[in-house]
Each structure stands twice: as C-alpha cells, then as structure tokens.
Structure 1
Amino acid sequence: MTKIVLVTGATAGFGKAIAERLVGDGYRVIATGRRSDRLDALAKSLGPALLPLVLDMDDTAALRALPASLPEGWQEVDILVNNAGLALGVGKAQDSAVADWRQMIETNIAGLVEITHALLPGMVARDRGHIVSIGSTAGTYPYLGGNVYGGTKAFVAQFMRNLRCDLLGTKVRATNLEPGLCGGSEFSNVRLRDDAKAAAVYQDTHPIQPEDIAETVAWVLGLPAHVNINRIEMMPTCQAAGGLAVARGVKV
C-alpha cells in the first residue's frame, strides 16, 4: 500500500524539496500552502502522485475540517510533515513588534498543533503513522533576537517529546528535526523583509540546503516500523553552538 504524506508549507524551500523527494521515493503526497500557483506548478511537475491543497495554517476552521475535506482516496494520511513555519524580525525583545510575535505563535505553534490534532486520531485508530515536525536549533540555543521564534521552536521540541509519550503502545511514531543554518529557502527573506540582508546571512558560508532536509526526512521515514527517531539536531560544518555571552563594563 502506497503511503500518503501531508507536507505543510510545500510551496518553497524545505516543504517543496520534501514533497519532491517523497514523490520520487514512491509516496503519494498532499502538498499544502497558501500560494495556489506554486502548488499547481508542483503538481504539474510531479504528476498524479501529488495533490495540491491550498491551506492557510492560521485558518483554524479549515485545519479542523481537513480530514473530512480531503478527496476520496486521500483521507487516510499516514505521515504528517509539520514544515510550515516562519521567523519575523531579529530585534531585541524590547524593540520587537508584538504583531510579529503573535504571527509566529499562530503559525509555528497554533497551526502545528491544530493540524496534528486533526490527523492524529486517524493514525491512532489505524495503528500506523508518523508525525515529523521541523523544529530548529533555535529551540535549544538562545541567540540575540531569537526571543519568540526560539520560544516557538522550544515548544515544538517539548510538544514532540510529550507526543511520543502519549503514543507509547501504538505504532505511531513522532520525530523532531532541528536544523541550524539553512539556505536555499525564503526563511531569511521573510524574516528580514530585505533580500540583500537575507543574502548576507549566508555570505561565505556553506549552509544546509532544502535537499539535505528532504534527505533526512526520507531516511527517518524509511527506517523499520519499530524504530522511532526522537530528534535529530543538524548543523552545517561551518556552524557550532556559541558560548555564553558576557557584557563588560556594566555597573551594578
């Protein structure tokens, strides 16, 4: 039986690469996102094994209605790849826009838990499935300007740990993938709202690429059914976790 995978945020970057890789590996893929033109282009490229589905991760009603709204033959989703997410701004907390914070929380946390909650009962009832969430090293290591974005990814990490506990005794797996510096996507363009500044983030580096993420997801999914990969932290060789920061000359 060909497994059905739903990939959120599949119009670019990680999601697009994951959808392409998994179709190539023989899966049937439901690719979701907000930009219908990009989804249609992806479907044209990959053929009938890919179902394009316009879906906004901020639309709670649509997320809750998702399982029943899928076409016949596509409703039994075996694998959910929680890829959709974003960062907005790199300012200090005291200088950040609360609207940006709320948008990150709505997409990275609320949207992720809503779609997981919508699809998980079916997986448990069928006693098969896999939830893969794209977290971040930002959920583990703090950095200047990471504030709420890092907080949302820390939530994802702990949510996935607890999810694994709740799924004990079933054949449903749960994995959190935590990449560091990644290029080849729109992540920094969206975060900085400036293409030149986004390009500068990766200047003189060799960051992880979307295809690297897709390769890792494919490996995790392809392992024997009795193996659960709890989490994977991955960075390019040009990156490492920084040391503790010290402010000098501050009088107390």
Structure 2
Amino acid sequence: MNKTVVITGATSGFGLAAAHRFADAGWNLILTGRREARLTDIVAELSVKCSVLAITLDVCDSDAVRQAFEQLPAPFDHIDVLINNAGLALGTEPASSANLSDWHTMIDTNIKGLTTVTHTLLPALIASGRGSSVINIGSIAANWPYPGGNVYCGTKAFVEQFSLALRCDLAGTGVRVSCLAPGLSESEFTLVRTGGNQQAYDALYKGTEAIQPNDIADTLLWIAQLPAHLNINTLEIMPVSQSWAPFSINRDA
C-alpha cells in the first residue's frame, strides 16, 4: 500500500515542490491550501502519477480544519506523514512601526494553524505507528534573530520548541517529529512578506544562489523515508552564501 502524506500550504514554494517530489516517489497526497484554482491545477498535473486529494483550507480556521479531516475516503484514511508547511512572514519594519494586524496573522497561521492541524491529525498518525512522522517547517530565524524579524522570529522559535516537546509526548508511539529550518530561500514567501515588491525580492536574492524549493522538497522526502528507528530532531539548512553576522553594537556619537 502506498504511503500518504498531508502537505499544508501546497499551492506554492516548499509545499508545491514537496507535492511534486512525493508524487514522483509514489506517495498518496492530501494537499491543502487557500487558493482553490491553484489546487485544481495541481491535482490535474499530479493525479497521473499518484492519488491526490485536494482540500481548500485556511489552517487558521480551526472548525474547518477538523471538519476537513473528520472522514477521509480511502486510500487517504491512513496518514503516514504530516508536513506542516503553511506559514508566512509579513513586513520587515521594526517592532515600533510594525502593523499589529500582521503580527496577529503570523501568530494565527504559524502557531495556531500549525498546532490545530497537528492536534487534529495526531490520532491518525499514532494509529499508523512506527515510522510515521510530523515534519514542521521552521526557520533559522528561530535561533538567529535579525532586525525586522520580531514576531516572525518568535513564531518560528515556537515551532522548534513545540516540535521538541511534541516528540517527548509521543515517546513510545513510534511517531517521529522533526523541525526543518531553512535559511535564505527563494520563493513566493518573500513577495508575500514585502507586499509584492519585486524590486525588494530581486535585491534580496541578487548573487546569493539561495535555497530553492526543490532543495527543501528533497530534504523532506529524505526525512520521511528514513528507517523507522531514526529521528531527525532539528535540521538547519543555509545556502553556502549565507552565514552569521557579527553582533550589532550601538555606539554613542
């Protein structure tokens, strides 16, 4: 029987690349996203390779999440892997001038949405037992803060710590928990963060050879297909062009 993976935020970036990579490997796909038209196109493309179930879903809507996964048809009713990919960053302003609504949206999506999906699917993952996995997409921002990161960095620190604590709670169930934390990555993520500012997008990636969505998709499949007795706790990935900067020091004039 083919294994089944749930991928949230599957309409672009890491999620879309992961959908293609897992389809190529013969997995059944449950794909969620807010953009129904994109999901329809993805299903049309990938259904020639594997079984695909698309669910138009905003992970911030707790009731909708629970209803979506209440009664899944075969062969999607046996879930082996959950990839919590849905998430976003909004704005690059310092905290004093940031938009409070943007802060709340990041908290709702990156924390509340992720925990709701996880809580909803844990019974199915535990029932699948040894070798099943929760893979949360974190960020190097969890450990390496930067100006303008404020709440986004905080949400990703939550994702990492939640992943580690969840693994403690799942000890003995056979369910694995991993936090994959990418660094500088080139995707629609940055356009969303900057409100569609193509100039800012181009400037950020100029000459960097940043991480690409396919790089993360390959890593996700590798984690999912590791032998059942192995667990990747946390994994940071940066492009070679990115490294840590010296500490910032403010000097009096």
Q: TM-score interval w.r.t. the shorter chain? A: over 0.9
Q: 2:102 aligns with which of 100, 103, 109?
A: 100
Aligned ranges 1:1-252 → 2 under 5 Å: 1-47=1-47, 48-128=50-130, 129-183=132-186, 185-193=187-195, 194-249=197-252
Cα shift at 1:76: 2.0
In 2, Cα distance between the equivalents of 1:60 and 1:118?
Answer: 9
| Counterpart AA for 1:68 | E
Cα shift at 1:74: 1.2
SS in 2 for 1:65: helix
In 2, Cα distance between the equivalents of 1:145 and 1:87?
Answer: 10
Cα shift at 1:195: 2.0
SS in 1 for 2:69: helix
The question of whether the paired residues in 1 share the 8 Å contact of 2:55 and 2:68 is answered with no
Q: After the TM superposition, which segments of 4 or more aligned residues of structure 1 sit over 4 Å from their partners? A: none
- Does 232-241 or 57-66 show the bigger shift? 57-66
Cα shift at 1:58: 1.4
In 2, Cα distance between the equivalents of 1:65 and 1:36?
Answer: 17
In 2, Cα distance between the equivalents of 1:178 and 1:132?
Answer: 10
SS in 1 for 2:41: helix
The question of whether the paired residues in 2 share the 8 Å contact of 1:2 and 1:27 is answered with yes
Q: Percent identity?
A: 47
In 1, Cα distance between the equivalents of 2:133 and 2:174?
Answer: 9
The question of whether the paired residues in 1 share the 8 Å contact of 2:79 and 2:128 is answered with no
Deviations 1:141-171 (A, max 9, x none): 0100000000000000000000111111111
Deviations 1:42-91 (A, max 9, x none): 11111152222111111110112232143343122211000010000011
Deviations 1:86-124 (A, max 9, x none): 000011111101100000000000000000000011221
Q: How many residues align?
A: 249
Once superposed, what is the RMSD of the aligned Cα atoms?
1.1
In 1, Cα distance between the equivalents of 2:74 and 2:57?
Answer: 18
- Does 53-62 or 119-128 show the bigger shift? 119-128
Cα shift at 1:249: 1.4
User: TM-score by structure 1 length?
Assistant: 0.96
User: TM-score by structure 2 length?
Assistant: 0.95
Unaligned 5+ segments in structure 1 are none
The question of whether the paired residues in 1 share the 8 Å contact of 2:31 and 2:54 is answered with yes
In 2, Cα distance between the equivalents of 1:126 and 1:38?
Answer: 30
- Does 126-135 or 233-242 show the bigger shift? 126-135
Cα shift at 1:26: 1.1
Cα shift at 1:131: 0.2
| Counterpart AA for 1:113 | T
| Counterpart AA for 1:120 | L
In 1, Cα distance between the equivalents of 2:202 and 2:37?
Answer: 25
Unaligned 5+ segments in structure 2 are none
